[in-house]
Amino acid sequence: MSWHGTDAEPRLHIVTGKGGTGKTTVAAALATALAGEGRRVLLVETEERQGISQVLDVAPLGTQETEVSTGLDGGEVWGLSIVAGAALVEYLRLFYRLGRAGDLLHRMGAIEFATTIAPGVRDVLIGGKVYESVRRTASGRAPGSRRGRHLGEPPAYDAVVLDAPPTGRVGRFLDVTGQLADLARVGPIRNQADAIRQLLHSGTTVVHLVTLLEQLPVQETLDAAAELETDRLRIGTLVVNQTPDASVREDVEVVAAGETDPARLAERLESVGIRTSPAMIEGLVQTAAEAVTRRDLEATLEDAVVGAGRPVLTLPHLPEGVGPDAVRRLAAELAAQGVAP
């Protein structure tokens, strides 16, 4: 079994999770791991969140694709920020040959206005740009053109990784047609939504869920996985981020094995020259007991995540924080756990 659990090779990886669990970090690491030798991966964020540029320590991403990093094996990672207004201008250019009139629309603020009153349209525009970047061929032909894919040309990107909205909003974000139900029953926007829907529900797309080993994120992850599966979206992996370092785990095991007898603890500390007080020993014993309780809770939560029946990837908490080097370390972890281009 391949790491994504099916034989079809997914090319669109949607990364979601509860806010703050590490979606952006994991999306960057996943893109880096997928960018094997000679491969190009596009890392996408939406609506000017600008998390990716911080994590990779590059200039803020724009609405034009730029190379932002190299992959683990020397491939290329490109970055793109998708903004609904810019996507609309591009869409109008492409389909209505609006040319510079599109720029004028943009400057007049008409687009911001239009997308504010119809959030469903906003998501279709963002989804449309994702769709285009997944389907584009190496020579840059537009999706749907009679040439391009039909000639068996390779895609422009071997994979597209989307740093998606958090679990609380991702269902709506991905339900492009449901949101449009009352807005556009026919017409080009409707067709666009149907095409995006088809892509999202095809073997090309998987959704990865990032969680921490904490009660709320795990619950939210399991709920989201069930909901997405009900909506017939394919869950790729569950990523358990920020797990305690192996050395911390070992220390907790030592404590759990019974090294918390107050008298023994005091004796051992004194033997290495540390002066103890009863209050200090009491504090240490309590801290140790809490660590053991947390370890037990984490084990229960880990079982619950595994119980969801999808491949689980585990990433360590990096005490130095997240930057370009950390992203590479996490990418190497993903690769070691079977994430391959």
Among 4, 10, 11, 24, binds Mg ion (CB under 5 A): 24
Closest distance of CB 149 from ligand ADP, Å = 32
Closest distance of CB 246 from ligand ADP, Å = 14
Closest distance of CB 218 from ligand ADP, Å = 15
Among 21, 46, 133, 192, binds ligand ADP (CB under 6 A): 21
SS3 120: helix
Say if CB 78 and CB 43 are below 8 A apart: yes
* Contact characters 230-269, ligand ADP, x per CB under 6 A: -----------xx---------------------------
* Residue number, 50 or 243, with CB nearest to Mg ion: 50
Closest distance of CB 232 from ligand ADP, Å = 25
| Cross-strand partners of 339 | none
Element (H, E) at 125: helix 119-135
* Residue number, 195 or 210, with CB nearest to ligand ADP: 210
Q: How many residues does the chain have?
A: 341
Torsion sign (Cα): 45, 49, 55, 60: positive
Say if CB 241 and CB 315 are below 8 A apart: yes
Find the largest Cα–Cα distance for the chain: 82
- Tell whether residue 166 is a contact of Mg ion (CB under 5 A): no
- Tell whether residue 51 is a contact of Mg ion (CB under 5 A): yes
Among 17, 120, 128, 155, binds ligand ADP (CB under 6 A): 17
Give the residue ranges of DSSP H helices in 40-79: 51-56
Task: Tell me the window of 2-10, 21-29, 111-119, 232-240 that interacts with ligand ADP (CB under 6 A).
Answer: 21-29
CA 185 to chain centre: 31
Q: What is the identity of the amino acid at 275?
A: R
- Tell whether residue 25 is a contact of ligand ADP (CB under 6 A): yes
Closest distance of CB 22 from ligand ADP, Å = 4
Say if CB 177 and CB 200 are below 8 A apart: no
- Tell whether residue 221 is a contact of Mg ion (CB under 5 A): no
DSSP 65: -
Q: Is 109 exposed, middle or buried (0-12, 13-18, 19+ CB in 10 A)?
A: exposed
SS3 62: coil
User: Of ligand ADP, Mg ion, none, which one sits near residue 115, judging by CB under 5 to 8 A according to partner kind?
Assistant: none
Distances (CA, A) of 308 to 172, 208, 226: 22, 13, 9
- Tell whether residue 331 is a contact of ligand ADP (CB under 6 A): no
User: Of Mg ion, ligand ADP, none, which one sits near residue 22, judging by CB under 5 to 8 A according to partner kind?
Assistant: ligand ADP
* Residue number, 53 or 237, with CB nearest to Mg ion: 53
CA quadruple 259, 264, 265, 267: dihedral, nearest 10: -150
Closest distance of CB 52 from ligand ADP, Å = 9
Among 84, 174, 305, 315, binds ligand ADP (CB under 6 A): 315
Binding site for ligand ADP (CB under 6 A): 17, 19-25, 51, 241-242, 315, 317-318, 321-322, 330
Binding site for Mg ion (CB under 5 A): 23-24, 51
